[in-house]
Structure 1
């Protein structure tokens, strides 16, 4: 960083204070805290990097492009937040470790409200291409007590690496929801998770290419578990051995969420007696929910309406 003359330093500092002071009348304390802190950090970045006017115009153009490509099916701002690690950092801050509770990870841009109800043992694939995968587990609280009637929302990419909302035919596939039984158990058919690239045909993709980063996500299955009296959990299940576990493009992998996937040969008897043509797999993933209000992080359910 070049040495800044004292007079220039004073002019820049004075501007920061004037902008911060403009928010002094903000009636809501938390809003005032956020905008004042944002202003100080933003100006610190500008001054530290000595941002040029050309770079400023390019940044404005980039953000404009992010907004222009965003619609009801594609949320490029969430994608930008994801690849910068901001989504995962926010999750980390607001989901402090508590006892043996399952760790949370990024929500992602592909959740859709109103998924089909498949029921216990149902099939979320909806015709999505991929190897059949039996998924089962138990939902309990941190004391070990089963959580009956918990809502389990599930969504994933198909074997071609695409979510249903990335197609143009309004299909609903590889997503669904069910509720745990009296013993807190859940079970359903899905497709075996596979790695895939995040959408990289827009401004976020250009950012990744400019910085030499891969768009690939480690293979995973999304789970959101909601139960009265418990903190809502948004998490992933990652198959062990995936090549992208150490370089997930949105930094979502946590070691505790990596599980073994058992691969079964054609003709192997399935847990529910379903006839499967060809090979299939199975995953066991138990979920432990923290009680609401523990720890001190946010317990509010995610804002679901922002997703693609």
Structure 2
């Protein structure tokens, strides 16, 4: 028997005995990860001291979570989201230099190959909801404009649903579009004022939130993926600071730097200037891109 296989399992020696068995792992990264996971898991079990029935319930919870997951729904990602793990992984992998716009989670409703649109176009295809103008600049850390940057934009409608959640009700690619900045880095497009909405809460994750006394809602926001040659890709949101759920996002995606005022515009001169026939909401936000490459 190899020395790393020796040792008998006890409550006291459990971590050491289990992790030593992995000494000959062929992948060092996996060996390291499993050592950390085993240690933390055993420490949690020792602190919680679950009954056999409680442990079985935990196993059944994970089993049902797996059964709910398919190509259209990933309940494990949702679980990761509500536990704050998705945001933590995102933060670790997208550390930014001071002054750069912060990242946040992609979310489950991004769609590839959204149509490229002309600057100033309206991404709302069904004309439902309160009209909104979104504008700003894409710049670097020194404030220089970034021309030909692409902004992949998507949002929920005024009822809190994305087009992929209401096929046959919303037009395909409703409230989605890709825009390219001009040489001065500016962008602008028309949309509708978004609304807060619940994450899917009819499964195991929703049950867990209810047991924890937590709501399933995300505050109103707009999604962006901003890309430019020579710069790190930015995946982020812009949030309405007056939303009732701004301080309690179910997936912890809100960052103070990503909040921007939603201004209600009613003056006739400004309505005419921006081509609106009725009052509209205006959001202005500048995206600050970090140069590609190491900066930590």
TM-score class, shorter: 0.7 to 0.9
1:34, 1:229 → 2: CA distance?
33
Q: Does 1:100 align with 2:103?
A: no
Structure 1 or 2, whichever has the larger Rg, is: 2
Q: Does 1:256 align with 2:278?
A: no
Q: Does 1:80 align with 2:79?
A: yes
1:284 alignment partner in structure 2: 284
1:290, 1:197 → 2: CA distance?
32
Q: Note if contact 1:95-1:295 (Cα within 8 Å) is conserved in structure 2.
A: no
In structure 2, the gaps of 5 or more residues are 1-7
1:282, 1:129 → 2: CA distance?
17
Q: Note if contact 2:271-2:279 (Cα within 8 Å) is conserved in structure 1.
A: no
Q: CA deviation at 1:104?
A: 1.4
1:177, 1:104 → 2: CA distance?
19
1:74, 1:129 → 2: CA distance?
27
User: After the TM superposition, which parts of structure 1 deviate over 6 Å for at least 4 consecutive aligned residues?
Assistant: none
What SS class does the counterpart of residue 123 from structure 1 fall into? Answer: coil
2:239, 2:65 → 1: CA distance?
29
CA displacement, residues 214-236 of structure 1 (integer Å, 9 cap, x when unaligned): 11111111111122221221111
Q: CA deviation at 1:192?
A: 0.9
1:98, 1:120 → 2: CA distance?
29
Per the alignment, do residues 145 and 294 of structure 1 end up closer, same or farther by CA in structure 2, a change over 3 Å counting? Answer: farther
Matched residue count = 287
Per the alignment, do residues 216 and 102 of structure 1 end up closer, same or farther by CA in structure 2, a change over 3 Å counting? Answer: same
Per the alignment, do residues 26 and 237 of structure 1 end up closer, same or farther by CA in structure 2, a change over 3 Å counting? Answer: same
Q: CA deviation at 1:70?
A: 2.3
Q: Does 1:199 align with 2:210?
A: no
Q: How does 1:173-192 map to 2 (within 5 A)?
A: 173-192=174-193
Q: Does 1:111 align with 2:124?
A: no
Instruction: Report the TM-score, using the length of structure 2 for normalisation.
Output: 0.88
1:121, 1:25 → 2: CA distance?
60
Q: CA deviation at 1:269?
A: 4.5
Instruction: Report the TM-score, using the length of structure 1 for normalisation.
Output: 0.85
Q: How does 1:21-170 map to 2 (within 5 A)?
A: 21-127=20-126, 129-169=128-168
Per the alignment, do residues 279 and 68 of structure 1 end up closer, same or farther by CA in structure 2, a change over 3 Å counting? Answer: farther
1:267, 1:72 → 2: CA distance?
48
2:127, 2:84 → 1: CA distance?
30
In structure 1, the gaps of 5 or more residues are 1-8, 297-308
Per the alignment, do residues 15 and 185 of structure 1 end up closer, same or farther by CA in structure 2, a change over 3 Å counting? Answer: same
Q: CA deviation at 1:11?
A: 0.3
Q: Note if contact 1:128-1:174 (Cα within 8 Å) is conserved in structure 2.
A: no
What SS class does the counterpart of residue 122 from structure 1 fall into? Answer: coil
Q: Note if contact 1:128-1:158 (Cα within 8 Å) is conserved in structure 2.
A: no
What SS class does the counterpart of residue 183 from structure 1 fall into? Answer: coil
Q: How does 1:197-276 map to 2 (within 5 A)?
A: 197-265=198-266, 269-270=270-271, 273-276=274-277
Q: Note if contact 2:150-2:179 (Cα within 8 Å) is conserved in structure 1.
A: yes
Q: Note if contact 2:241-2:261 (Cα within 8 Å) is conserved in structure 1.
A: yes
Q: Note if contact 1:105-1:236 (Cα within 8 Å) is conserved in structure 2.
A: yes
Per the alignment, do residues 272 and 122 of structure 1 end up closer, same or farther by CA in structure 2, a change over 3 Å counting? Answer: farther
Q: Note if contact 2:160-2:196 (Cα within 8 Å) is conserved in structure 1.
A: yes
What SS class does the counterpart of residue 13 from structure 2 fall into? Answer: helix
Per the alignment, do residues 15 and 240 of structure 1 end up closer, same or farther by CA in structure 2, a change over 3 Å counting? Answer: closer
Per the alignment, do residues 224 and 179 of structure 1 end up closer, same or farther by CA in structure 2, a change over 3 Å counting? Answer: same
Q: CA RMSD for the aligned pairs?
A: 2.3
Q: Which deviates further from its counterpart, 68-77 or 235-244?
A: 68-77
1:239, 1:46 → 2: CA distance?
40
